[in-house]
Chain A
């Protein structure tokens, strides 16, 4: 029994420690207004306060705290990307993640499980090798493995050759992990709130005020406020909010669905992804299989669920794990993925002065929450875009200078 729990048992009243304040009133002005109280917005607020001492900050969230994609994602964390820029970026995130529980004093249930990207075709094997080679070159632990090794890494995986798409091998990435997605957002919210950042939920940004091409204020459903700088971090609604600010993003919003089974005793430790079969699965600490697929085939802002999604997904799941037929699906849901054409995010400055952007996180942005938070905080605080995130600037699309991550990002969130 850990010591930290003793106080709960021995004190008469619950040692109440409100993790974040819900404030009644908006102030008339803030140094920084962050639009979007998801993981990214909250992390940026946290690092602004913690690393840069900037605390006159408001995070405005139109729904409940971190209820967007942060609340809906399947929490896969990995750095086995394809471009050196991507690998370096996500690797920094993993390193931050590994220390986050202790930094927060709040357990984010970071569980290093290892991550397999299965290959069923020559082409997928080539991509696996490409990723492994780039990863290894940059000091990230990834290796191509073959069926004999797979049998050890994932004992119940169906390695039969008598299936439609037999498994030829996989990219094995031992640092692959899952974490409790909500806890990450709450940890940041608590840390930010403790340092004076104001978090206003049920507060929707409806427009912006400008002066000489600079943003100077934010309109909300609770009135106008003035501000020095704005960070837009609204994921699925990126294009809509940037429209309010008057610029266009090369981002499409596409539904992304996921589902969980009823909880069962642990039988799957590692995270398994198959791009060819459009399926990924991990078993959560609660015992549920957490499963997902590629994004839906068309843009949409609704977060409805579909039947086709799970029919297709379950078919492929059964090919990988033929014995789960009698397990039951408990719940399905959807979020809205903000997809860029090159499957890399957008971070940094925008055509509008003092207006910063953090978008294009598509199906893969949860894992970037810490690194994006620190680096965007740095950008806002110093007015200089750090080298690590420079390649992800919005400008790249104006120059056709894309950062191609499709091969590493499409299904394997």
Chain B
């Protein structure tokens, strides 16, 4: 297609462009055409559209500033994505782009009237007003909130897919500019495996758009050569369009690619992230048409777009001359070079400009840009002679232009370095921030302009050196490159004071946050004179670009106002991410583990309603939710009158083996285990060092040196961790294994359970005499090797059968099949909770809380007083020597009383004395039963106490002994 854009430049400009494809997109309601490879901003610039957004506070028109995705001026909304950087976001066919944070339209934003009241909105204005009369802030808050915020979140947006990948390498190089390319090459040649990461679509960095000398062909050749060598190197893995956003401890990097986050661990990191060009401060320096020199160059070289037609170049270093040459090459008329320095530049770039007879105003600055209609462009630059640091005199010119390019200096892109411990300090001699400390204990290197090296040959050499050092430190010794120009510094790169406050203001220090010079000055006057305080009070550097274009000038201004020296000053703390990260990218494919027991699918076949128990899923009950209560009641009665079966595979299971196993249990649990007989089980109760109950279960002694211990579903991981930790300290002779998931387990309970089981075993004697309560056997059930425990959590004759997990389903099937003739019924957690309540058993963490000691729950019996030590003993001894302030008691209420809810309070004369911990209607006992904490004087059996219901009504409950059901334990011991 023919190139019919007025601003579009011919080849070879436009590295990113595929000129064969035209793309139509919509911006702020209008259709535009661009080329494949264009960003939103470059395509608009090619259409001579400069207005991209409105500013945060004053709604001033804004356009391209950096062309590098580094400023808030280009924030737009793309479909459901807020805060898109229009200068780097590629256009696609039919893309719909909206202006954000405007009232009315982008062109005609009535929010701009805020600017007219701007003088009434001093720095920190919201601290100074809106609270009188009392209560009024509520209304202002809503108004201010609606004005704040940038783009919009689409609450109907659907999540998009992304994932994460892991990478490892010897040397990672961040930044694919000249320094990074030569570092990667050198390290790879030394034998290191290298990963090279760059945020742009093409390698080359500044080689792609910066004119290092008057004859640019040299730069292009260097680029060709380096990029080819790197691309073809088998040991270099290249990631472009990849933004390293965080550098965490031990060289752990987060890298954001298009649909994926890479997490990369590298031996050594080479940071070659370059530097960020800094603006100059003058009146209206924020309007469309005022941009960084490097932004103009990026537009020209990368996107083939002329940044304007009539230009003024403001410079304080030699790079401005390169910019001017590029403008001229692109057919743009350069009206003048406004040179802030007083002495002429001797660079070859300046010589080339002189040869073209371009006017150079030495010792001058742009003092003001004159806006065009609606401030959507500029028409003139007002130039004044500089009289002293930051001030100008009356010698002035007004020069017509639609473009002002600024080359005032750089600041190192050191954010990543600083994430993991690097440091920057201001060097007054060079007026630049320099890296003074590297992170990662010698396992990192900085190279290139990040390292204050700017001249191209020096940059290449510095990169090479960094590659050598990195490879060496990663374990690949190689020959140190010769002729490293360590002495080459940043001299002359930064103009020391490019800040020219204007009496009429609009001299922006921070365009993101709409902060002018006076705002910073006044913040200091208000007493906020630490850099960190200025930041917090004024919000300078806190906007979307996180101070990339404002931190340097801000620190200059603040130290001057506060009468402090700049030398050695460090910037405010840098925090990840380097560049904003999509929340979805951080999430990837959400990993939310679910644990299924071996019998899971049988439950589903039986129409179980599943509930979460930690990571596990367990049947709550079997049947339809409409009939929940009847289902639970039927399950309850089946256990009481016949036989029921419950999957208890989620119980924690620990194998403790070794000569010191019993001693270990003695220390970990409150009870005594030394004399426990083989083939018997015993209750275990664990308390923490403050005596608080944290878990319970049973310990089965399977051999002299072997215990099989159960723990609660939710508690086992903590118990196991605890055990490992303590055994590391005690160093006893034993071994601990968490075998929770290795065993499946069911509890077969009810008066008919023995009959069912007897059909399925021929090596275990089941009679009450041979296998009594609290005994343990190993043998076979349905030919499956099993551990069988007679325990009575639900209060009936019962067998807990533990089998290898892969046999769990077979066990279940065998029991269900054999149980058929007895009308066996599976029961769930709900019925189990009710059954144990009838039996008066507590559930740790439901009937106990973060402070419950055994005595309060009547479990003094589970404490072996004579033991010299167990975890929590000291605390329990201290506490049991004084009177308790609460006790857990059983209570009943008539069946027609209102059913309290768990955690309703127990009160006494309006004082809280306790709470209900468990409560239910018992179909077996035909009354309401429960457990509650009460004060000791309320705890006497037969006494009544008050429960305060959720609706504040008071109901009476009567203390009664537990177990509520079968107090003599006859049914369990059958």
Using a CB–CB cutoff of 8 Å, the interface residues on chain A facing chain B are 1-6, 8-9, 14, 16-22, 64-65, 67, 71, 84, 99, 101-102, 106-112, 120-123, 126-127, 129-130, 132-134, 136-137, 144, 156, 164-165, 180, 182-183, 186, 190, 201, 261-267, 285-287, 304-307, 310-311, 314-315, 317-319, 322-333, 341-343, 399-400, 402, 404, 406-407
CA distance in complex: A325, B79 (Å): 13
Which residue of chain A is the closest to B545 with respect to CB atoms?
A: A330
The answer to whether A326 touches B254, judged by C-beta atoms less than 8 angstroms apart, is: no
CA distance in complex: A180, B146 (Å): 17
The answer to whether B131 touches A107, judged by C-beta atoms less than 8 angstroms apart, is: yes
The answer to whether A326 touches B82, judged by C-beta atoms less than 8 angstroms apart, is: yes
Interchain nearest-CB distance for A170 vs B (Å): 15
CA distance in complex: A311, B81 (Å): 20
The answer to whether B134 touches A325, judged by C-beta atoms less than 8 angstroms apart, is: no
Interchain nearest-CB distance for B143 vs A (Å): 10
Could you tell me how many residues of chain B have their Cβ less than 8 Å away from some Cβ of chain A? 102
Q: Can you sample 20 A-B contacts with CB below 8 Å?
A: A1-B120, A9-B119, A9-B120, A106-B128, A107-B130, A109-B137, A111-B137, A129-B904, A133-B950, A164-B592, A201-B530, A262-B150, A264-B83, A266-B145, A287-B148, A304-B249, A304-B420, A326-B82, A326-B160, A330-B546
Q: B131-187: which residues lie under 8 A (CB-CB) from chain A?
A: 131-132, 134, 137-138, 140-141, 144-146, 148-160
Q: Evaluate whether A264 and B149 lie within 8 angstroms (CB atoms) in the complex, with A19-B527, A326-B82, A328-B83 already known.
A: yes
Q: Evaluate whether A323 and B128 lie within 8 angstroms (CB atoms) in the complex, with A8-B122, A318-B584 already known.
A: no
Chain B contacts for A156, CB-based, 8 A:
155
Whether B850 is near chain A, meaning CB under 8 Å from some CB there, is yes
The answer to whether B850 touches A328, judged by C-beta atoms less than 8 angstroms apart, is: no
Which residue of chain B is the closest to A99 with respect to CB atoms?
A: B134
Listed stretches B518-526, B669-677, B763-771; interface member: B518-526
A327 touches which one: B132, B153, B907 (CB < 8 A)?
B153
The answer to whether A126 touches B902, judged by C-beta atoms less than 8 angstroms apart, is: yes
Which residue of chain B is the closest to A121 with respect to CB atoms?
A: B612
Chain B contacts for A327, CB-based, 8 A:
82, 153, 582-583
Chain A contacts for B611, CB-based, 8 A:
122
Which residue of chain A is the closest to B154 with respect to CB atoms?
A: A323
CA distance in complex: A327, B904 (Å): 41
Q: Evaluate whether A404 and B612 lie within 8 angstroms (CB atoms) in the complex, with A14-B525, A286-B148, A315-B592 already known.
A: no
The answer to whether B141 touches A285, judged by C-beta atoms less than 8 angstroms apart, is: yes
Which residue of chain A is the closest to B853 with respect to CB atoms?
A: A400
Interchain nearest-CB distance for A335 vs B (Å): 12
The answer to whether B912 touches A262, judged by C-beta atoms less than 8 angstroms apart, is: no
The answer to whether A164 touches B575, judged by C-beta atoms less than 8 angstroms apart, is: no
Interchain nearest-CB distance for A303 vs B (Å): 9
CA distance in complex: A22, B690 (Å): 46
B149 touches which one: A9, A263, A399 (CB < 8 A)?
A263
Interchain nearest-CB distance for A96 vs B (Å): 13
Chain B contacts for A332, CB-based, 8 A:
575-577
A123 touches which one: B144, B151, B580, B845 (CB < 8 A)?
B845
The answer to whether B533 touches A330, judged by C-beta atoms less than 8 angstroms apart, is: no
CA distance in complex: A65, B122 (Å): 22
Chain B contacts for A112, CB-based, 8 A:
138
Contacts A315-B592, A325-B159 aside, 4 further interface pairs with beta carbons under 8 A come to A99-B134, A121-B612, A323-B157, A328-B83
- One digit per residue, 1 when the CB lies within 8 angstroms of any chain A CB and 0 when it does not, for chain B 574-616 equals 0111001111101110111010000000000000000110000
B912 touches which one: A20, A129, A134 (CB < 8 A)?
A134
Query: 3 tightest A-B contacts by CB?
Result: A287-B149, A325-B584, A328-B580
CA distance in complex: A246, B160 (Å): 56
CA distance in complex: A21, B582 (Å): 42
The answer to whether B546 touches A164, judged by C-beta atoms less than 8 angstroms apart, is: no
Whether B875 is near chain A, meaning CB under 8 Å from some CB there, is yes
Chain A contacts for B588, CB-based, 8 A:
311
The answer to whether A165 touches B527, judged by C-beta atoms less than 8 angstroms apart, is: no
Interchain nearest-CB distance for B415 vs A (Å): 11
Interchain nearest-CB distance for B575 vs A (Å): 5
The answer to whether A4 touches B129, judged by C-beta atoms less than 8 angstroms apart, is: yes
The answer to whether B132 touches A2, judged by C-beta atoms less than 8 angstroms apart, is: yes
The answer to whether A330 touches B580, judged by C-beta atoms less than 8 angstroms apart, is: yes
The answer to whether B583 touches A328, judged by C-beta atoms less than 8 angstroms apart, is: yes
The answer to whether A8 touches B119, judged by C-beta atoms less than 8 angstroms apart, is: yes
Chain A contacts for B420, CB-based, 8 A:
304
CA distance in complex: A198, B246 (Å): 40
The answer to whether A329 touches B580, judged by C-beta atoms less than 8 angstroms apart, is: yes
CA distance in complex: A266, B527 (Å): 32
The answer to whether A314 touches B575, judged by C-beta atoms less than 8 angstroms apart, is: no
B952 touches which one: A126, A136, A317 (CB < 8 A)?
A136
CA distance in complex: A181, B595 (Å): 42
The answer to whether B248 touches A404, judged by C-beta atoms less than 8 angstroms apart, is: no
The answer to whether B132 touches A4, judged by C-beta atoms less than 8 angstroms apart, is: yes
The answer to whether B120 touches A400, judged by C-beta atoms less than 8 angstroms apart, is: no
A265 touches which one: B146, B846, B875, B915 (CB < 8 A)?
B146
The answer to whether B152 touches A64, judged by C-beta atoms less than 8 angstroms apart, is: no
B153 touches which one: A164, A267, A307 (CB < 8 A)?
A267
Q: Evaluate whether A22 and B82 lie within 8 angstroms (CB atoms) in the complex, with A109-B141, A183-B127 already known.
A: no
CA distance in complex: A362, B233 (Å): 52
The answer to whether A22 touches B529, judged by C-beta atoms less than 8 angstroms apart, is: yes
Chain B contacts for A129, CB-based, 8 A:
901-904, 950
CA distance in complex: A121, B526 (Å): 50
Chain A contacts for B81, CB-based, 8 A:
326
Whether B27 is near chain A, meaning CB under 8 Å from some CB there, is no
Chain A contacts for B953, CB-based, 8 A:
none
The answer to whether A5 touches B128, judged by C-beta atoms less than 8 angstroms apart, is: yes
The answer to whether A134 touches B905, judged by C-beta atoms less than 8 angstroms apart, is: yes
Interchain nearest-CB distance for B499 vs A (Å): 18
Which residue of chain A is the closest to B521 with respect to CB atoms?
A: A14
The answer to whether B159 touches A5, judged by C-beta atoms less than 8 angstroms apart, is: no
Which residue of chain A is the closest to B522 with respect to CB atoms?
A: A14
Chain A contacts for B527, CB-based, 8 A:
18-22, 190
Q: Evaluate whether A133 and B148 lie within 8 angstroms (CB atoms) in the complex, with A14-B525, A407-B850 already known.
A: no
CA distance in complex: A329, B580 (Å): 5
Interchain nearest-CB distance for A177 vs B (Å): 11
CA distance in complex: A320, B265 (Å): 31
Q: Evaluate whether A107 and B128 lie within 8 angstroms (CB atoms) in the complex, with A307-B248, A322-B159, A329-B577 already known.
A: yes
B536 touches which one: A17, A71, A317 (CB < 8 A)?
A71
CA distance in complex: A62, B725 (Å): 37
Whether B544 is near chain A, meaning CB under 8 Å from some CB there, is yes
Chain B contacts for A261, CB-based, 8 A:
583
